[in-house]
Chain A
Amino acid sequence: MDFDFSQDEKMIREQVRKMLSARCDSGAVRSVFEGREAYASHVWQGLVEMGVMATAIPEEYGGVGAGYPSLCLVAEQLGAHLAPTPFSSSVYLATEALLLFGTEAQKQAWLPRLAAGEIIGTLAVTETVAQATADSIQLAFADGGLSGAKLIVPDGGIADFALVLARANGGALGLYITDLQQDSVTREAVATVDPSRNSSSITFAQSSAQLLGAAPDQGWSQLQQVLDRAAVLLAFEQLGGAQAALDMAVNYAQERFAFGRPIGSFQALKHMMADMYVALKLAESNCYYAAWALATGSAELPLAAATARVAAIQAFQLCARDNIQVHGGMGFTWEFDCHLFYRRSNYLTLQLGGLAEWENKLVDRLPAGEAA
């Protein structure tokens, strides 16, 4: 057993950290947050130059085949820096869906450009203000075209193409690839709790689309498999965010004084931060395990992914929430970054379906008996 990342993997993390420290400061996050940019193109460009979109894509499709553990550590850094880019939609979701289910021709057509960061993809599922279920999907596919609307699509306003969950001829669900640049597609920004991430509604009017892969009736189960893989990667973003929020709290608590002493010497705050640390450690260890399951294609991936996802949601939400508390009034200002973490923690919780959904999946996947 060797339960740690390799030196090479850690080196990639360090390079990404350096680039993000230089390019993705609070100003970069705020330029998207305050609406001056749809996403941080300068940051995206930095990621393109480092070739990180290609990390887990095999060489035959233009990738570098460096594997999932490296990609996990890239994700962790993106989360720590609150990177306002469509990386998760394009890399964890669109790329993974193509790798898993695309036909050879589809892979050849899309993956090399995704690997190079030339195009951006996303996944469109949600149609109502309720937990998405198979029955809640109405968007129709008929005669080679999609018709209907998706209520909220992460990075929907930025992406060049989308994988759309749709119902063929009133029957089975499938995933369809569609070009979002075509005239029949209408996109409109949707305001969310986290404006540092683009979110849009998308309406299709007989927009031309193609089934992903060859199975027209496997859409729902394909979606679950894609979500499991993305959950691991997104959990690493949440981990990075949680760590950054905790660091911020610890630093502030050392510098701010009240009653003649640093507030970090008050036990109520120390214990609060100790609990943040505990949640973070548990999440980190669960995420590491899930990274291993993802990298090795282990049969344990579904359970490990749900476990990492639930733990990472808990850790990021707790750290972001209590980071505000440690900051007092300053924590509730627009100017301090505390709310950026708070907003992001709640957005990422919902991005792949929320805590309750993943708790449910986790329990469904537990083996019977004490072995669990």
Chain B
Amino acid sequence: MDFSDTKEEATFRSEVRAWIKDAAPTYLHDSLAASGFGNTRTGEYEPLAEAKKWQKKKADGGWACIQWPKEFGGRGATPMESVIWGQEEGLYGKLAGTFIIGQGMCAPTLMAYGSEAHKQRYLPPLASGEEVWCQLFSEPQSGSDLAGLRTRAEQDGNEWVINGQKIWTSGAHISDFGILITRTDPEVPKHRGLTMFFLNMKSPGVTIKPIKQANGESGFNEVYFDNVRIPDSQRLGEVGGGWQVSLTTLMNERLAIGGSIATGFPEFKALIDNLPLGNGRAIDNPAVRSKLADWYVKSAGLRNTAARAMTALSKGEVPGPENSIGKLVAGGMMQDIAKFALDLQGLGGAIVDPAIAASSARLQAMLLRSPAVRIEGGTDQILRNIIAERVLGLPEELRADKGIPFNKIPSGR
């Protein structure tokens, strides 16, 4: 058991540090530091342009998606080196939020199911941020029950014709491509009639409508498909094998999110250090101390769990469903922390103006964004189901739709 860098790791770290010191957009440092959860601030600069600029610079220097093979725009780095990169990139990593879905979920799916030509064509610009990808899975009628989706794909010669609607598609409005799961056969049980594609988001018949989120931002969209044509060559996996393909995406989703998970603890700790409470200090209040201890235990537990997963990964083990605990713990915790932190500040805690609010209003931003963490990428309840069934081996839930052809399944609102 050893927590320090090996000699190779230390050498790698100093190489990374030197490069970042030279290349990082230091002019964004203060804005990024004051960024609230779910809204990356870049001050007077345009966020998407800055994100793309930094990503391209990393790519040119050989520091984008470093775990990918070199031929696809990566560096062929080890998982541990990738962790070290993340630690050293620090605040500037916030700029990469735009690319997480494409690089963390779409790319592994392409790597597993795309043709060689596709990988050569699409992966390098995905790594360099020149092309952005989105994930077109959820639909109005199917979120948790993803396999209940209805967007139709019908074959017409060498093409497929798509009709239907996706929803909650993060970043669709700024995306060049997307991976799309569709129903190709409604007459077989739901998991068996699905097929995966990728498509150009500028294809005729694609309409994107932004949705205003509860926290006032607009990160996700509705996407409509009206006779959109996709060449069969852009199919990923077999016809009817879409569910299998989607599992690759979803497994990587948990890793992509789980690795860089925010809990709100550092922000809370910094606030508490100097916060007055009653006639004393918040840090001396027994209720505050008890919660602080509990949340520290959780955030340290997540950090240490990630370190164990990383060790397993570097020994060639495949990360399993146990990684579901990351988002499950972090989401609820962030929501609790934000609520408690505001409560300690009285009515003043309600203020969201970063010029007035403590900690640049980062805790208020968390209060308003954290409900989404408990929904996106698998709700708290779905994650508990996964832990119960796939980790603990408890029996499956009784399913009203089991073995029934998709078009005979009862549906509600």
Residues of A in contact with B (beta carbons under 8 Å apart): 1-6, 69, 246, 250, 253-254, 261-262, 264-265, 267, 269-271, 273-275, 277-278, 281-283, 285-286, 288-289, 291-292, 295-296, 306-307, 310-311, 314, 356, 358-360, 362-363, 366, 368-372
With A1-B80, A363-B289 known as contacts, the answer to whether A370 contacts B266 (CB < 8 A) is: yes
With A265-B397, A278-B387, A286-B304 known as contacts, the answer to whether A4 contacts B297 (CB < 8 A) is: no
Interface residues of B in 280-331 (CB under 8 A from A): 283, 286, 289-290, 292-294, 296-298, 300-302, 304-305, 307-308, 310-312, 315, 322, 325, 328-329
Q: List 30 A-B contacts (CB under 8 A).
A: A1-B2, A1-B4, A1-B6, A1-B80, A3-B1, A6-B1, A246-B392, A262-B395, A264-B388, A270-B388, A270-B394, A271-B384, A273-B394, A274-B385, A274-B392, A277-B391, A281-B301, A285-B304, A289-B304, A291-B1, A295-B1, A296-B3, A307-B300, A310-B297, A356-B290, A359-B290, A363-B289, A369-B273, A372-B266, A372-B296
Partner of B301, one of A282, A295, A362, A366: A282
Bound form: Cα–Cα A69–B1 in Å: 8
Q: Which residues of B contact A359 (CB under 8 A)?
A: 289-290, 293-294
> Which of B266, B269, B297, B305 gathers most chain A CB within 10 Å?
B297
With A289-B304, A372-B266 known as contacts, the answer to whether A307 contacts B297 (CB < 8 A) is: yes
**Are A369 and B301 in contact (CB-based, < 8 A)?**
no
**Chain A facing B: main interface SS:** helix
Chain A residue at smallest Cβ distance from B298: A282
**Are A310 and B308 in contact (CB-based, < 8 A)?**
no
Q: Which residues of B contact A3 (CB under 8 A)?
A: 1-3, 304, 307-308, 310-311
The reply to whether the CB of B393 lies closer than 8 angstroms to some CB of chain A is yes
**Are B388 and A273 in contact (CB-based, < 8 A)?**
yes
**Are A265 and B396 in contact (CB-based, < 8 A)?**
yes
Q: Which residues of B contact A281 (CB under 8 A)?
A: 301, 305, 322, 325
Chain B residue at smallest Cβ distance from A310: B297
**Are B392 and A277 in contact (CB-based, < 8 A)?**
yes
Bound form: Cα–Cα A275–B298 in Å: 13
The reply to whether the CB of B389 lies closer than 8 angstroms to some CB of chain A is yes
A72 to chain B, nearest CB (A): 10
> Which of A1, A269, A270, A371 gathers most chain B CB within 10 Å?
A1
**Are B266 and A292 in contact (CB-based, < 8 A)?**
no
Partner of A292, one of B3, B269, B322: B3
B381 to chain A, nearest CB (A): 7
A51 to chain B, nearest CB (A): 22
Bound form: Cα–Cα A4–B309 in Å: 10
Bound form: Cα–Cα A184–B351 in Å: 68
B13 to chain A, nearest CB (A): 11
The reply to whether the CB of B265 lies closer than 8 angstroms to some CB of chain A is yes
Partner of A372, one of B269, B391, B396: B269
Q: Which residues of A contact B266 (CB under 8 A)?
A: 370-372
A55 to chain B, nearest CB (A): 15
Chain A residue at smallest Cβ distance from B391: A277
**Chain B facing A: main interface SS:** helix
Partner of A4, one of B9, B296, B312: B312
**Are A254 and B394 in contact (CB-based, < 8 A)?**
yes
**Are A292 and B300 in contact (CB-based, < 8 A)?**
no
Q: Which residues of A contact B397 (CB under 8 A)?
A: 265, 267, 270
**Are B297 and A1 in contact (CB-based, < 8 A)?**
no
The reply to whether the CB of B5 lies closer than 8 angstroms to some CB of chain A is yes
**Are A311 and B388 in contact (CB-based, < 8 A)?**
no
Bound form: Cα–Cα A370–B396 in Å: 42
Bound form: Cα–Cα A289–B294 in Å: 17
Bound form: Cα–Cα A359–B285 in Å: 12
Partner of B387, one of A277, A311, A358, A372: A277
**Are B394 and A289 in contact (CB-based, < 8 A)?**
no
**Are B3 and A265 in contact (CB-based, < 8 A)?**
no
A5 to chain B, nearest CB (A): 6
Q: Which residues of B contact A370 (CB under 8 A)?
A: 266-267, 269-270
With A292-B3, A310-B293 known as contacts, the answer to whether A2 contacts B311 (CB < 8 A) is: yes
Q: Which residues of B contact A356 (CB under 8 A)?
A: 286, 290
**Are B9 and A1 in contact (CB-based, < 8 A)?**
yes
**Are A271 and B388 in contact (CB-based, < 8 A)?**
yes
**Are B305 and A282 in contact (CB-based, < 8 A)?**
yes
Q: Which residues of A contact B312 (CB under 8 A)?
A: 4
With A285-B305, A362-B297 known as contacts, the answer to whether A278 contacts B329 (CB < 8 A) is: yes
With A271-B388, A288-B1 known as contacts, the answer to whether A1 contacts B269 (CB < 8 A) is: no
Q: Which residues of B contact A2 (CB under 8 A)?
A: 1-2, 311
**Are A307 and B296 in contact (CB-based, < 8 A)?**
yes
The reply to whether the CB of B214 lies closer than 8 angstroms to some CB of chain A is no
**Are A363 and B3 in contact (CB-based, < 8 A)?**
no
**Are A270 and B2 in contact (CB-based, < 8 A)?**
no
Bound form: Cα–Cα A372–B305 in Å: 16
Chain B 381-409, CB within 8 Å of chain A: the 1/0 string? 10111011101111111100000000000
